[in-house]
Structures are given as C-alpha cells and as structure tokens.
Amino acid sequence: MTATDSRPAAKTYTPLGLFDTNRLLDDDERDIAATVRAFVDAKLKPNVEGWFESATLPRELAKEFGNLGVLGMHLDGYGCAGVNAVSYGLACMELEAGDSGFRSFVSVQGSLSMFSIYRYGSEEQKQEWLPRLAAGDAIGCFGLTEPDFGSNPAGMRTRARRDGGDWVLNGTKMWITNGNLADVATVWAQTDDGIRGFLVPTDTPGFTANEIHRKLSLRASVTSELVLDNVRLPASAQLPEAVGLGAPLSCLNEARFGIVFGSLGAARDSLETAIAYAGAREVFDKPLTAYQLTQEKLANMTLELGKGLLLAIHLGRIKDAEGVRPEQVSLGKLNNVRESLAIARECRTLLGGSGITLEYSPLRHANNLESVLTYEGTSEMHLLAIGKALTGQAAFR
C-alpha cells in the first residue's frame, strides 16, 4: 500500500454546507426548513415523476399543504402562522426542491390569492376565505395576465361594469395557476374608475376555467384559461382597498420573493443529484467525479448556488426589517432563476443519457425553470426594472 492509499478519506460537504449558510439562520428557521424538506422527501418526491408524466396535481395535496402550515404562512391571523420572510423563503426552497409545481401551488395560494384578500379585502372577505384557504379546505387563484397582456397588465381588456348594485365582468385571463382547482379567483378588471380587484367564486354562472394541456413545463401543476362571460357579482365581491394597478403588482412582488428562494431549491436538488450520480458512475475505470472537468462544473455550480442563497437571505432580512423594494426583488428573481436554470442544465450533462429520463430530476427542473424564468416578470422586464432603478429612465415604455 502506498502512502497515498493510506491517507484518510477527504471530508466532503454538501454544496450549501460548504458555504455554512445554516449559521445565518435561527433555530426556528432551520426547523421550518427541515420540516418542509422531510415532508417533500416523504410525500412528494416519491410521486412527482408520475404526476409530471401524467400532467396532474392531486387536489388533495391542498389539504396536506394546509396541515403542513405553509399556505399563507407569512400572513398573521386567520389560521396563518405569521412566520418571517426568511422562513417563508426557506419553505419555498424546500418545496421547489421537489418540483416547481409544488412551490407554484403554495405561492399562488398564499402570496397571490390569500395576500390579495389579506391586504385589500374587507374583514368579511377575510373571515370568509382566509381560514379555509390556510387550511387547504379551499383553493384560490389569481387572474391578472391576459392572452395579449402579460408584461403590460395595464392594457388588460377584462372589464367590470356597474349594473344597479351589482358588477358584471367580461374578459379572459391566461396562464392561471390553480385555475381548474380553484374555489375562488381574484380577478382584476378595468372599471370606469381604473383597475379594481374582485373575488369571484368559481361556481358563479358565466365563469369557466379551461385547463391548458400539452405543456412541456410545469406539468405537475394545473394551468388554466379563465373565461368570464357576463359574470354577475354583488357589490361585496369587490376588494375595497384595491385601487389601481399597484394593488396586483404588490401581490406579484410577494410571490416573486418566494421565487428568489424557491428556484434555488430546484438548483440544489439538481446539483445533489448530479454529485451522487457522478460519484457512482465509473468512466475509464474511475468515478466521473475524479475528473478535473467534472470538478470544475461542480465547483462553478456550487459557487452560483451559494451566492444565490446569500442574496436570498439578505433580501429576506431586508424584507423583515423595513420592507424590500420591488427592484431589489427583481435583482433576486433575475439572478437566482437565471443561475438555477443554468445549474439544472449543466447537471443534466453530467448524467449523460440517463439525464433525459424522469428517474433523475435535473432536466425536469430545467423544464420547469423555463416557465419560472418567464412568469411573474420575464428576465427582460426585471433587467429593465433594474435599469430604471439605476438610471431613472423607463426603457420599457
């Protein structure tokens, strides 16, 4: 035996363990992350391949997410836990390590549907919907995007007009997560007094949700078109505090914050999968991890993952302290989704042919992240939001 052979094995670290990011978290934050990760490992990962392949997301998961306590977990009261922003972000990261569809469900339920009611609803609306949504007994969706108006929601054509004491809504919304599962939709519409929000029970006559099929991304998630054909609502359906476009955009900012953390979960899972596979895969009589080109890939991906989490935690601390600005959330979403997508793609290369099967997660994560890159603000729009913050010039107008 040579001197080299007798050396003790080198200590190894997980990618985020190398950054020692746990020391930046308090006990409650670590416990929440561990609890959600255990749930994802036990309940979701064993089934996600089948759900992705069949393009389904079981409705009963809503109740399980409610029991876990992640639906509206960053809101106070009404059955919500009121945890801090970092805890919510870590939960999003663990959910998206399972699949972007899981984080999308929780994000839309808590940061779009529930937050719109929590921030802009009447006390009666809050009492009616928030406890049920928090428990997963009801499901919500958020109707802002339209077929021709994504990055420019101010141009929406959905219209709400007064008819006596009622409102009558007509229009179409597109790419709506949870649309076919939802019991209530927050719908944004043009009125004579500008953009307003309305709570639309999905069993209201004239409301139709059409599921979008043949998706190549976010297959373990329900995506829908909403059609409103003379949907008549009482005056009490209007969100009384929602005035102008700033209201739905503030909801989107809440959801984007979850993406800043969530996308890193997909990247982390891809990287952990690639390291495990490459360590067991022998190429020319030694593990794939023993080659310099492999280690270069792993080192570069670890750097971007760790830097992304440091940015996410920093933005979370700002959010908890004095409130994070929209352009700061743009920094986080742009960087972390872009780098997470690059990591997932690179990890697929380390898996070779095996990487194109559902047995391994990186290509599934990469497919999902193509959607995450686009929704709730495309990369181009976040670049321009950052550019405006730097120059004072709105280049997108």
**Active-site annotation, residues:** 376
Spatial separation of the C-alpha atoms in residues 225 and 211, rounded to whole Å: 6
Is 139 within 8 Å of 133 (Cβ atoms)? yes
Is 340 within 8 Å of 264 (Cβ atoms)? yes
Cα–Cα distances (Å) from 149 to 5, 172, 224, 254, 390, in that order, read: 64, 11, 16, 20, 26
Residue 167 CB neighbours (<10 A): 22
Structure tokens at 181: 């599962």
Structure tokens at 308: 């992304």
Is 49 within 8 Å of 358 (Cβ atoms)? yes
Structure tokens at 34: 């561990």
Is 309 within 8 Å of 21 (Cβ atoms)? yes
Angle between helices 246-280 and 100-107 (to 10 degrees): 160
**Which among 290, 292, 293, 267 has a CA at the least distance from the CA of 279?**
290
Structure tokens at 126: 């809050």
**Which among 368, 388, 379 has a CA at the least distance from the CA of 335?**
379
Spatial separation of the C-alpha atoms in residues 384 and 387, rounded to whole Å: 5
Number of alpha carbons in the 13 Å side-chain half-sphere of residue 212:
21
The distance from CA 350 to its chain's CA centroid, rounded to whole angstroms, is 26
**Which among 199, 181, 204, 187 has a CA at the least distance from the CA of 104?**
181
Name residue 177's amino acid: T
What b/e sequence results for 197-207 when a residue is b if at least 16 CB atoms lie within 10 Å of its CB, and e otherwise? bbbbbbeeeeb
What 8-state DSSP symbol labels residue 378? -
The partner residues of 223 in beta bridges, in order of sequence, read 177
Is 322 within 8 Å of 315 (Cβ atoms)? no
